[in-house]
Amino acid sequence: MKTLVLKENYESIATNLIKNGEIIVVPTETVYGLAGDALNKNSAKKIYSLKGRPQDNPLIVHISEINEIYRLVCDITTEQLNFLEHFWPGPLTVILKKSNIVPIETTGGLETVAIRMPNNNIIREIIKCTNTPLAAPSANLSGKPSPTRVEHVLEDFDNKIPLVIDGGQCELGIESTIIDLTSSVPRILRPGVITLEEIKKYLPNVEYGGFCEEDNLPIAPGMKYKHYAPEGKAYLVCGDNKSEYILNEIKSKIDKKIAVISFSENISKYENQTVLLFDMGSKLKPIEVSRKIFHLLRKCDEYNVEYIYIEFENESGIFVAIKNRLIKATSHNLINT
């Protein structure tokens, strides 16, 4: 199958494909999504098989207007709606009890459903044209870094899907914050650009749902699987002496292909080294880092890098979410210096 990549005039072809149960790729403000009709169980099955994703790892259902949520959930309180109005459209996904029209194929067998209203005109326009919510996981093969550019999507899905809509580089670069509203204490199952501190202003008793602790997994079923992993062996290096540590590692691996992913502030420390050097952005600008991070992990694969050293230091706000992705990308190879 030839994959068509379109920047414009995609509306009618996208609508027809979705209505016929086909799967296409659409941009969102977080990452690209592999989208199909969320209310068609065969579309959901196709998404799992294309991604190579385990069937018990549920999909996020995307809507274009807040009132589309009513028919997808059993009940929703005024307080919950007010909360959503503050953050939608945006990088926030909520878990609620599902209604009967949402097939369990979409929810990975669960009685709950994850819903998000993205802040991106292309996907919202397609939801409006098709008149159905779109189930869309990140458009990467299971286990690979999430796609933030069309080139990443094509690495994984060229000639496997009929249509990719090109919306340019994703603005935020990491997936939405997921919050579970099905219990009395709201819990963040996956951190994102919308932080615990921001959510606390509206839901004062919100807590982290243990997404970092091995024993607590899996609260969001997707969190138990291998994720974002580049081919090379990757390390997340924290602490005051991280540059010295990385420089020593470079010295001891003279014959190996090494990449260093450094904050802009520290990049000059590695400039004389024979390594692939990537600037991930300023440690004062988390969005700069989130926007780039999956791209840089994929770059390491492109160059067949054997060892990857990623600097890290700030652990608050949006950096909590970036660290969460990097802990997974490095398979918990965390080094404190």
Site residues, ligand TXA (CB under 6 A): 28, 30-31, 33, 57-60, 91, 93, 95, 107, 110, 112-114, 116, 118, 136-138, 175-176, 178, 189, 220-223
Min separation Cβ 321 and ligand TXA, Å: 11
Nearer to Mg ion, 175 or 311 (CB): 175
Residue nearest to ligand TXA (CB): 222
28 touching Mg ion, by CB under 5 A: no
The least CB distance from residue 97 to ligand TXA, in Å, is 9
What residue type is assigned to position 100 of the chain? Answer: N
Which lies closer to Mg ion via its Cβ, residue 103 or residue 222?
222
The amino acid sitting at 158 is D
Q: Is 138 in the site for Mg ion (CB under 5 A)?
A: yes
| Cβ-proximal residues to 107 (8 Å cutoff; 6+ apart), any chain | 58, 59, 98, 113, 114
Q: Outline where DSSP puts E strands in the chain.
A: 4-6, 24-26, 33-37, 60-62, 92-97, 112-116, 134-135, 163-165, 177-180, 187-190, 207-208, 233-238, 258-262, 276-279, 307-311, 334-336
Min dist. Cβ of residue 138 to ligand TXA (A): 4
Instruction: Name which of 138 and 148 has its Cβ closer to Mg ion.
Output: 138
Contacts of 212 (CB under 8 A, 6+ apart): 324, 327
Site residues (CB under 5 A) for Mg ion, limited to 172-191: none
User: What is the smallest separation between the CB atom of 267 and ligand TXA, expressed in angstroms?
Assistant: 29
Q: 48 vs 245, which CB is nearer to ligand TXA? A: 48
- Complex with ligand TXA: residue 63 or 296, whichever CB lies closer: 63
- If the CB atoms of residues 15 and 106 are measured against ligand TXA, the closer one turns out to be 106
How large is the C-alpha radius of gyration of the chain? 20
The distance of closest approach from Cβ of residue 296 to ligand TXA in the complex, given in angstroms and rounded to an integer, is 19
The structure tokens listed for 171 are 């603005």
Structure tokens at 38: 């969320």
Alpha-carbon distance of 192 to 307, in angstroms, equals: 27
Distance CA 144, CA 46 (A): 18
When asked if residue 142 is in the footprint of Mg ion (CB under 5 A), the reply is no
Interface residues with Mg ion (CB under 5 A)? 138
